[in-house]
Structure 1
Amino acid sequence: MTTTSERPTGSPSRQVSPRVSQSVFDGSRLRVVLLVDVYDGAQQQFLEAYELLCNQVASVPGHVSDQLCQSIENPSQWLITSEWESAPPFLAWVNSEEHVRMVEPLHSCVRDTRSLRFHVVRETGGPAAGTESAERRLQSAPRIGDGLIRHALTFTVKPGSEEKVAGILADYASPEPKVDETTRLCRTSLFMHGNRVVRAIEVRGDLLAALRHVSRQPEVRAVEEAINPYLEQDRDLNDPESARVFFTRAALPAVHHVTAERQEGQAERYALSYPARPGRGMRLAELLARQDEAAADDPRSPVVRSTIFQRDDVVVRLVEVSGGLDAADPALILGLADPAQAAELTEFPAEASAPRDAELARFVKLARMDLVTDRRSPEA
């Protein structure tokens, strides 16, 4: 399991390509905002739980500071802000089992929470005027995206049940794509690799609202109930706490997205699952991000879009490829050009005598996930 001390190796606040619309790997400082709605009468209990959590978080590598604020208009509304040296140590902590245990005392006094994460781009006060942004660890420039939020969920099913689960997940009516006036489901792609399921979603608007909308749809509820007996991690969707813990552990955040300058309308979507060595998931995701960033400027690359999802040692790369996989350079498809580097960070079984391209092509076959379903909103 990834430890909270794992760090990316890139230089602080490095200049990133304008084609990169999302990345946690530029070394800039991170501001985390947590909006909390506390049950009436539970304010003191919440404060005591926060004090306990605060003392524990203070020792987490990468944590800088935090503040707790209470609304001057509604005493049930609280705001927790924290600052981190960069995004990777925060993500390593917030996605860990340690975090799940740390926040457990809050559950009985909190009605709802909403977490927002921001790279620091500009600031006033603090360092002297003229200090270079690289020294202040600020994001060097604002990123320009396409209006889509990318997220994924992953879980494992009991060995031997894969075919049954794939059939259930492929056979359901698509939920209503319109969430509200500002939020819409745009695309859902579901893949399997062995007994691991990955559901990647694209949303325009409010991700949390979209996830809640989907969870309430009868057709989705029926599918979720149908696969319950086959899950390796037990859950009860009628128990809010059980459901919350399951989906907390299932979250697979997007850590990097890049779109090449060339655009191909007929690009095909694939997913690759990388068996990261224990404790190397974040480093592997960072290396894939660097390779994809470089490939975005290479006219020979068939990859027109790439999104990397990572949590602990689960690393999944979603790519859209023109011309299909078989005709492409396996190094560009895999995102790893050096078999020795792949052997260092992954558990792909190596063949020492195999030629480079043959070895990389074999890794692509081992990593390729099976497509279960890929659905687009008609108006996406």
Structure 2
Amino acid sequence: MTVSPVVATDAVSADALSTRATAAPAAVTDAGGVSISAFDGARVRVVLMLDIHDGMQQEFLDAYERIRDRVASVPGHVSDQLCQSLENPTQWLLTSEWESAAPFLAWVNSEEHLDTVEPLQDCVRDTRSLRYSVLRETVGEAPSAAAGEPLRSAPRIGGNVVRHALTFTVRPGSEDEVARLLSEYVSPEPRVDDSTRLLRTSLFLHGNRVVRAVEVRGDLQAALRHVARQPGVRAVEEALDPHLEQDRDLRDPQSARRFFTRAAMPAVHHVTSAGRAGGAKGADGTGAHTRRLALLYPVRPGAGPELARLLARQDTSVAHAPENPVRAATVFHRDDLVVRLVDVDGDPEEAPAFVLGLHGSAGGDGGGGPAAVAVAQRLLDTAAIGVDGLLTEDRTLSLLLARARMTPLTDRRSPAS
């Protein structure tokens, strides 16, 4: 089976036993606010529905028994339960609980995870993965005190839109050809089925690194499978193969799983600002004249998680600031790769601090301010991209914005989005 760089293979994949990259639901309201957050402190419940090949139930259970202790030792893992359907012996359910989203995302997108779940691959015909923040818990007739009350007391508000991103590198010297291929491909049909639709695809290049971000209304996996079947997409993927730094064979499920697991860059935070009056808005809440940018931050070794968390706090703190031109911001993160997708009203160069998420004014929840910028100065290796000076200076911020901006290759919206 041939799949696209926004799609994972159909073999065993998802969460505690997964290699399929998915993203949390996200959407926008006119009032704005956070609709994705891996940093709210809530425990995470992961639900993995599995369809086992006929007659292989015992083999699957034996494989699970061999890896369960290894999974249980992963930092942040709390517990899991493996269940079999009462009505259909091929349908199984695996639920796991994690201390928070961050350790789970680090695990599910790791090489260690790929190696751990490999024994299960031959037993599973299909999977579906769901991920939830735990907002309330009741044990018996009273709220659970032992487990602790989740830090977030209210649900995030949003609609039926999912965000997902992948990143990969191409061989030095091939950047121009890769840019041409990714700029010229034929857009797939946006309608997947009655409940699922492709809303937007945005591709960017920085040096030899490609970032692809997609927005889907409805079922992300159904949409990605739909994309993978499109002849135009298949042709582009075949043309890209010789230019990739990581070899892949999309006809081989194991090779495809490894490629897409390494490429996955989860959306760990998404916030929209209060909408301004005037102008029609799309499904992402942005106006027709809003400009989309992708920023690749120069991260010091080991500083990626802290920087992603800081940018999330910064964006939340000024979501309703009237002087903020950023209408929406999504932080994507894995390891020391941090990419922030921003939709900006007007010229981004007129407000580099807001566009970079490095504003020095304190926000409504205390997330911003000079202290946050001082922390960012420590986390960013600005000298590596030829930027000197303090991040409190306009000249430094303007130069950092110019050097961190990725080159846009494609930004296509569904006509109905």
CA distance in 2 between partners of 1:205 and 1:174 (Å): 19
Report what 1:344 is aligned to.
Answer: 378
Aligned partners of 1:278, 1:41: CA distance in 2, in Å? 48
Q: Would you say 1:148 and 2:161 are equivalent positions?
A: yes
1:160 positional shift: 1.0
Partner of 1:242: 255
1:362-373, aligned counterparts within 5 Å?
362-373=399-410
1:25 corresponds in structure 2 to 39
Please, what TM-score do these two structures have when normalized by structure 2? 0.83
Partner residue, 1:186: 199
Deviations 1:7-66 (A, max 9, x none): xxxxxxxxxx97111111110110001111111222122112212221011111111110
* Equivalent position SS for 1:291: helix
* Corresponding residue for residue 362 of structure 2: none
Distance 1:158 1:175, change over 3 A: same
Contact 1:285/1:315, CA 8 A, preserved across alignment = yes
Partner of 1:121: 135
User: Equivalents in 1 of 2:327, 2:141: separation in Å?
Assistant: 40
Worse-matched range after superposition: 367-376 or 336-345: 336-345
Unaligned runs of 5+ in 2: 1-30, 277-285, 360-369
Structure 1 residues 49 and 132: alpha-carbon distance in aligned structure 2, compared to 1, 3 A threshold: closer
C-alpha separation in 2, matches of 1:113 and 1:275 = 36
CA distance in 2, matches of 1:39, 1:56: 24
Say whether 1:36 aligns with 2:58: no
The alignment covers a number of residue pairs equal to 362
CA change 1:138–1:38 in 2 (3 A) is: farther
Residues 280 and 83 of structure 1, relative CA distance in 2, 3 Å threshold: same
Residue correspondence of structure 1 range 129-140 to structure 2 within 5 A: 129=143, 135-137=148-150, 139-140=152-153
Q: Is 257-266 or 71-80 further displaced after alignment?
A: 257-266
Aligned residue in 2 for 1:107: 121
Match of 1:196 among 209, 218, 222: 209
Give the match for residue 207 of structure 1. 220
Deviation at 1:301, TM superposition (A): 0.7
**Counterparts of 1:312 and 1:192 in 2: how far apart (Å)?**
19
Give the match for residue 49 of structure 1. 63
| Distance in 2 separating the partners of 1:291 and 1:132 | 33
> Residue in 2 aligned with 1:65?
79
C-alpha contact 2:39 2:101 (8 A) present in aligned 1: yes
Distance in 1, matches of 2:62 and 2:252, equals: 25
Contact 1:289 1:308 in 2 (8 A): yes
CA distance 1:354–1:115, shift in 2 (3 Å): closer
Q: Which residue of 1 aligns with 2:272?
A: 259
Q: Which amino acid aligns with 1:118?
A: Y
Asked if 2 retains the 8 angstrom alpha-carbon contact of 1:18 and 1:143, the reply is no
Amino acid at match of 1:97: E
Structure 2 SS opposite 1:136: coil
Question: Could you say what secondary structure the match of 2:353 adopts?
Answer: helix
Distance apart, 1:112 and its partner CA:
1.6
Mapped contact 1:95–1:312 kept (Cα < 8 A): no
| Structure 2 CA distance for partners of 1:100 and 1:294, relative to 1, 3 Å | same
Which string of whole-angstrom CA distances, capped at 9 and with x for unpartnered residues, describes residues 139-198 of structure 1? Answer: 311121132111111111011111110001111111000001100001101001111111
- AA matched with 2:396: E
Are 2:377 and 2:391, in contact at CA under 8 Å, matched by a contact in 1? Answer: no
Moved more, 141-150 or 166-175: 141-150
Asked if 2 retains the 8 angstrom alpha-carbon contact of 1:120 and 1:138, the reply is no
2:240 is aligned, of 196, 220, 227, to 227
Alignment map for 1:295-310 (pairs within 5 Å): 295-310=318-333
- How many Å apart are 1:213 and its aligned residue? 0.6
The aligned residue for residue 10 of structure 1 is none
SS of the residue corresponding to residue 69 of structure 2 reads helix
Contact 1:122–1:138 (Cα < 8 Å) also in 2: no
Matching residue of 1:217:
230
Q: 1:331 aligns with which of 347, 353, 366?
A: 353
Partner SS for 2:107: helix
1:317 to 2:316 alignment:
no
SS at match of 1:139: coil
User: Equivalent pairs: percent with the same residue?
Assistant: 62
The within-5 A match list for 1:70-85 is 70-85=84-99
Runs of 4+ in 1 over 6 A off after TM superposition: none
| Paired letter, 2:399 | R
Q: Distance in 1 between matches of 2:392 and 2:89?
A: 66
* Alignment RMSD: 2.0
Unaligned runs of 5+ in 1: 1-16
Aligned equivalents of 1:210, 1:42: Cα separation in 2 = 29
- SS of the residue 1:107 aligns to: helix
> Residue 258 of structure 1: SS of its match in structure 2?
strand
Q: Which amino acid in structure 2 is aligned with residue 30 of structure 1?
A: V
| CA apart distance, 1:199 | 0.8
